[in-house]
Structure 1
């Protein structure tokens, strides 16, 4: 179970975090949450899709890494084979905590139950011997801020997609050389026909809101399915 703590120099002065990549470190994930502000970087490597939470009736965006639970086709030999990792992946085992105990700003929390917590001497230090944040922690802090800002705009982005009827269900059948198949269901994507039919006023509204670029990036990302299927075939062939 997760064990979240507020990160402090007093409690975590000697803390080290593993930054290599492996399934046993939590990288055995088929997808990860994404925010529109990073779609431009994500679309270079991953399909960007949307999932509907039926209980809350809201959408989330995800970057896709594989075709079945626990499959990450980007992780091999201790590294992540892509130029960019989603923020929600790269910040682990850290997270943003809510405002509490009189603090006006959000605080950095850490999951002490994460397999990334290094009990030895090989991980990256979070604090230096002087008690100051290391460059690693400074980078994490900046990424947490970016991720938090992206989540704050989630509602507006998906409300705009719904208002303009730009989301449609997506089903993908992946047939492999050995005759096996994977069926991707439960996802949504941008309705390209509907996007093309929008008038200048609607496009202008989306542009002024900052949503038009991530919409086009999500559309462009669909081309990565062919590359992801190729990764799957190589994994089956070579392990």
Structure 2
């Protein structure tokens, strides 16, 4: 679905009406969605979350894994959302906060299918924000603040070198084996070996809970397996592998084998 975000303007959009139904059909081709820190705890019980790195900018982001295949959202099926929680970056649609002439402004996707003739108006007859728009603007403000805190959290996690590259190894119902790469997660060993003062800093900033929520969310990969069984590409199993830990284990095993061979010689 092609999107066309434009600055929200009451003169231009005074007659627009928005559907009040929870219609998330626009997400059906979305396999990753941004996740922000103030929703980590709620999302952890329903959707797996990982870190990704933008290779062009070097920036890291926290995202929800909505599917394994690109452009395929397992959490939207049979015309409805398949989890009790919906990421805030999906809930905000068709609105967004974006740079606008040096400032941040409210934008709307004026090509959205959520814009309908029988929806609720964005503006009153006097040109003021209607209740629906007021609620959405309040939500956008909350989300923007959460995203700022998320960036502070990510900066700290990267600074402490807590991230490690992971690989998800998939076996399909047909027996095909694939590896999904390009993701990072919190390294438990690095976390547990942090100096006490750094652990205290994370706790005081409220970041400890966020870290554990992200780690715990990976158990929801089983949910992706379950949801895939409703599709024509069912998954038999998904396994998370810490690549650094795996490499270290292989190196240790090789060293032990070589030492044993040397002793026998």
For the superposition of Structure 1 and Structure 2, which TM-score range results when normalised by the shorter chain?
A: 0.7 to 0.9
Q: How many residues align?
A: 232
CA–CA separation in structure 1 for the residues paired with 2:157 and 2:24: 35
**Could you tell me the TM-score, scaled by structure 2's length?**
0.78
Shift in alpha-carbon separation, 1:81–1:135, aligned structure 2, 3 A: farther
C-alpha RMSD of the superposition:
2.4
Provide structure 1 residue ranges, at least 5 long, that are not aligned to the other structure. Answer: none
Distance 1:132 1:82 in 2: 35
Q: Could you list the per-position Cα deviations for residues 173-231 of structure 1 after superposition, in whole angstroms to 9, with x for gaps in the alignment? A: 12122223443210111111221222321111111122111111101101101121111
2:213 is paired with a residue whose SS is helix
Q: How does 1:140-219 map to 2 (within 5 A)?
A: 140-219=136-215
Larger relative CO (CA 8 A, sep 6+): 1 or 2?
1
Structure 2 equivalent of residue 51 of structure 1? 52
Aligned to 2:81: 80
Structure 1 residue 78: deviation in Å?
2.4
Larger Rg: 2
Deviation for aligned residue 1:53: 0.8
CA–CA distance in 2 between the matches of 1:32 and 1:14? 30
Distance across 2 between alignment mates of 1:52 and 1:106: 24
Q: Are 2:95 and 2:109, in contact at CA under 8 Å, matched by a contact in 1? A: yes
What corresponds to 2:256 in structure 1? none
Q: Is the 8 A contact 1:20 1:78 kept in 2?
A: no
Work out the CA distance in 1 between the residues paired with 2:28 and 2:4. Answer: 18
Deviation at 1:99, TM superposition (A): 5.8
Matches within 5 A, 1:53-68: 53-68=54-69
Structure-2 change in CA distance of 1:95 and 1:6 (3 Å): same
* Aligned pairs (5 A) from 1:21-32: 21=23, 23=25, 25-32=26-33
1:232 aligns with 2:244: no
Work out which of the residue numbers 98, 107, 110 in structure 2 matches 1:112. Answer: 110
CA–CA distance in 2 between the matches of 1:214 and 1:2? 32
After superposition, the Cα gap between the structure-2 partners of 1:180 and 1:233, relative to the gap in structure 1 and judged at 3 Å, is farther
Unpaired runs of at least 5, structure 2: 235-265
Equivalence for 2:40: 39
Q: Does structure 2 retain, via aligned residues, the 8 Å contact 1:46–1:224?
A: yes
TM-score, normalization: structure 1? 0.85
